[in-house]
Structure 1
Amino acid sequence: MNVLQKKFAVLDGQTVHSYTLKNDAMEVTCINYGCIITKILTPDQNGVLENIVLGFDSLEEYQKFSPYFGAVVGRTAGRIKNGEFELDGQTYILPQNENNNHLHGGIEGFDRKLWDAEVIEAENEVGVEFSYTSADGEEGYPGNLKVTVTYTLNNQNEFVISYHGVSDQKTLVNLTNHTYFNLSGNLKRDVLEHELTINSNQFAELNMELIPTGEFIDVNETAFDLREGKKIREGVESGHPQNLLAGKGYDHPFLLNENNHKEIVLFDEESGRKMIVKTDEPSVVLYTGNKLEGQFDIRGTKSRNYSGLCLETQGLPDSIHHSHFPSCVLEKDEEYFTKTTYMFSTAK
């Protein structure tokens, strides 16, 4: 196992580096701009190594076109209604960067920051530790928040993302990674034939602006019942009002029934690739790329709807406005920590 560091770009006089984590079977490449995962190369059932995530080869493309490809988003993932919230009687105003709402940390969120990076080379794993301090008032949030995001890869083909944060004031924190997966390899096909299993009995109902209403809907007898696995196509072709609302597909938080026990499985039968996701987060937001059509090229392939799907392990979006949701409030000097593991294999 080893880590290869290279120059990726120059941003405002500072070098953006890429880091490629390699084990005996696969590799993960990321950059210290937005902690973006640019490539994950894994073998198919015939041993052919191909890229299974959406991304670009230049910083300019990420800055101009990217729908959060591969990035860490924060301080809060998802939408915050009306771009405002209240803590201890004080109202905080956030940038409204999607309609009237605040999305994925704002105009200059964590996905657009240059992070410090330190290579990790241990006996059983390799990785990169990214760190960034979000100043008090950045994008409207209170508190100086020190954040560390660590990517590690081991020889069991486990890729682990760990998030850590501490603030000197009470604030909101809800981090996730926004990688778009496509297990066909090198974007040969869309993800409609991918089979997805999520151990979840309920999902959060969304309003017309894709913000949780506060209600949970039972998945029984709907395209949202992924407990035994369903092809993505079923949700795209579903007439369920929530599937139609999301633009014919999914953009929904699923409440997880359990944690750290293979609660999410993505499988592509044609390539044989399988990805198992374990997390300590209460939910996963499934987004099936319903709005990717024709906006840009992805390494020579015109973007199209359902080119990839996101599995954003996180707290529920807009939880600050719903007291019965798991809280994303971080107290002063309290430690924020969460971890998600991705395990890659093939099924012959």
Structure 2
Amino acid sequence: MAGSRITKDDFGTLPDGRKVERIVLRGEGRFEARIITHGAVIQALIAPDAKGGHDDVVLGHDAFDGYLAERKFFGATVGRYANRIANGQFSLDGETFQLPINNGPNALHGGLDGFDRKLWDIAELDDGASPAVTLTYTSPHGEENYPGQLDVRLTYRVTGPAELSLTMEARTDRPTIVNLTNHSFFNLEGATSGTPTLNHKLTVKAEHFLAIDPTAIPLPEPPRAVAGTPFDFREACAVGARIRESDQQLRNGKGYDHTYCLARDGKLALAARLEAPRSGRTMELLTDQPGLQVYSGNYLDGTISGKGGKLIRQSDALCLEPHMWPNSPNRPDFPSPRLDPGVVYRHHTVYRFAVRAP
């Protein structure tokens, strides 16, 4: 269609024959967000650079086979519970639930077959001035041992010249827990540039972070102040500037793999800013969530290849994941992930791209 800012095509086929579709949302200056229905994945984000060029800035795969072969959460929607729950256990109204264990002794990112492995339905396409796609998934009661049927509605929308907005809502028919996020791996020099993100400058608008044990579960203590630690990104600092310091928390996370505590009251606000020195690209992340997981790609080990056939290695990308705090179901002192019937879970995150002024 002439002038269309949204297109749809086939991206692949699941082993059971179901089609996986790709939706392309277009902004200005060749900005594009490419979404696939398997895992509600951001398959590509095409953003301009300071020299008038453009590149894909998220890790992933060129073809669907790569997403099926390895579960690495590239660009995926994660749920029902993003991040970790200690020992895969939590109690709700006196009943204990045992989740599948899939990360050391803990449950991670929704279990063995989370939302990142599901085929989502296209509920709506909006080809207006702010093109959008709305995807839905219904998680039945007992899936991965979570209580309650959960109906999830997710919208990706281009809300500025080079800005992608993500909104998620969820409803349940009985008390449950929910914590959703997008798990994109960013490299603002380009997904196939081969340039480590350790030189990216990062700013995080947080005074505190959650210290973790060696299995990445928050320690039984209040949030720690970032001041005077390698976790202080209140002013822009290269990701790799302090990542090799002799610090027990860096040892526990094999680098950065920690939740920053954001001052939020359900309102959208700036949480982080990322800047790439060569391309001049910047990305601001705004969210209404109480936590931001900063993950420096510590477990990318070169065993799989991504776009362009290039091996994906440690520090090839950085994750910024807005969500609830880890292990919140077992920590009454943390923000609560409980969702009751009649209440709507909401999550709003914005990825705003720009280029550094010359």
Q: TM-score under structure 2 normalisation?
A: 0.94
1:170-181 mapped onto 2 (5 Å cutoff): 170-181=175-186
What does residue 320 of structure 2 align with? 311
Distance (Å, rounded) in 1 between the aligned partners of 2:124 and 2:151: 19
CA–CA separation in structure 2 for the residues paired with 1:334 and 1:342: 27
Instruction: Identify the residue that residue 48 of structure 1 maps to in structure 2.
Output: 53
Q: Deviations over 1:52-92 (max 9, x none)?
A: 00000222211222311000000000111111111011111
After TM superposition, which residue ranges in structure 1, 4 or more long, deviate above 3 angstroms? none
The Cα shift of 1:196 comes to: 0.5
> Is 2:179–2:337's contact at 8 Å kept on the other side of the alignment?
yes
Q: Which amino acid aligns with 1:21?
A: L
Give the equivalent residue in structure 2 for 1:38.
43
Q: Quick one: which of 19, 23, 29 aligns to 2:23?
A: 19
2 CA distance for matches of 1:308 and 1:134? 30
Q: Contact between 1:3 and 1:119, CA under 8 Å: does it hold in 2?
A: no
> Is residue 2:250 matched to residue 1:243?
yes
Specify the code of the residue in structure 2 equivalent to 1:32.
Answer: T
Q: Does structure 1 retain, via aligned residues, the 8 Å contact 2:75–2:183?
A: yes
Q: Deviations over 1:198-224 (max 9, x none)?
A: 011110010110111132111111110
Would you say the 8 A contact 2:36–2:43 is kept in 1? yes
AA matched with 2:295: Y
Over the matched positions of the two proteins, sequence identity in percent amounts to 36
3-state SS in 1 of match to 2:202: strand
Q: Please show how residues 139-288 of structure 1 align to structure 2 within 5 Å.
A: 139-188=144-193, 189-215=195-221, 216-247=223-254, 249-258=255-264, 260-288=268-296
Tell me the distance in 1 between the aligned counterparts of 2:88 and 2:200: 35
CA distance in 1, matches of 2:67, 2:243: 27
- Residues 2 and 121 in structure 1, CA contact (< 8 A), matched pair in contact too: no
- TM-score (structure 1 length as normaliser): 0.97
How many corresponding residue pairs?
347
Once the 2 structures are TM-superposed, how far is the Cα of residue 338 of structure 1 from its aligned partner?
1.4
Distance 1:110 1:235 in 2: 34
Contact residue 124 and residue 155 of structure 1 kept, 8 A: no
Q: Distance in 2 between matches of 1:154 and 1:199?
A: 23
1:155 offset after TM fit, Å? 3.6
Counterpart in the other structure of 1:336: 345
CA contact (8 A) 1:169 1:333 kept: no
Instruction: Assess if the C-alpha contact under 8 Å between 2:154 and 2:167 holds in 1.
Output: yes
SS at match of 2:211: strand
Match for residue 89 of structure 1 among 94, 118, 122: 94
Classify the secondary structure of the residue corresponding to 2:52: coil
Gaps of 5+ in 1: none
Matched, 1:321 2:330: yes
Pairwise CA distance, 1:4 = 1.2
Letter in 1 for 2:322: T
* Mapped contact 1:290–1:306 kept (Cα < 8 A): yes
Q: Which SS does the other structure have where 1:76 is aligned?
A: coil
> 2-side partners of 1:72 and 1:322: how far apart?
24
Which residue matches 2:104? 99
Q: 1:3 aligned to 2:21?
A: no
Cα contact 1:170–1:332 (8 A) shared by 2: yes
**3-state DSSP class of the match of 2:274?**
strand
Contact 1:172 1:328 in 2 (8 A): yes
Change (3 A) 1:268 1:309: same
Q: CA RMSD in A?
A: 1.3
Supply the distance in 2 between the matched residues of 1:2 and 1:119 (Cα, whole angstroms). 15
SS of 1:270 mapped into structure 2: coil
The one-character-per-residue Cα deviations of 1:269-307 (angstroms, maximum 9, x if unpaired) are 211000001111011000110010211111211111001
Alignment of 1:37-76 (within 5 A): 37-76=42-81
Q: Distance in 2 between matches of 1:60 and 1:123?
A: 32
* 1:2-45 Cα deviation digits (max 9, x unpaired): 11101011111111001111122200101000001111011110
Cα distance change of structure 1 residues 230 and 69 upon mapping to structure 2, 3 Å threshold: same
What is the CA–CA distance in structure 1 between the aligned matches of 2:71 and 2:142, rounded to whole Å?
25
Q: Which amino acid aligns with 2:53?
A: V
Q: Which residue of 125, 133, 153 corresponds with 1:128?
A: 133
- Structure 2 gaps of 5+ residues are none
Whole-angstrom distance in 2 between the partners of 1:122 and 1:114: 22
- 230-239 or 199-208, which moves further after superposition? 230-239
Cα distance 1:235–1:136, how it changes in 2: closer, same or farther (>3 A)?
Answer: farther
- For residue 199 of structure 2, give the secondary structure of its aligned residue in structure 1: coil
Q: Secondary structure at the match of 2:210?
A: strand
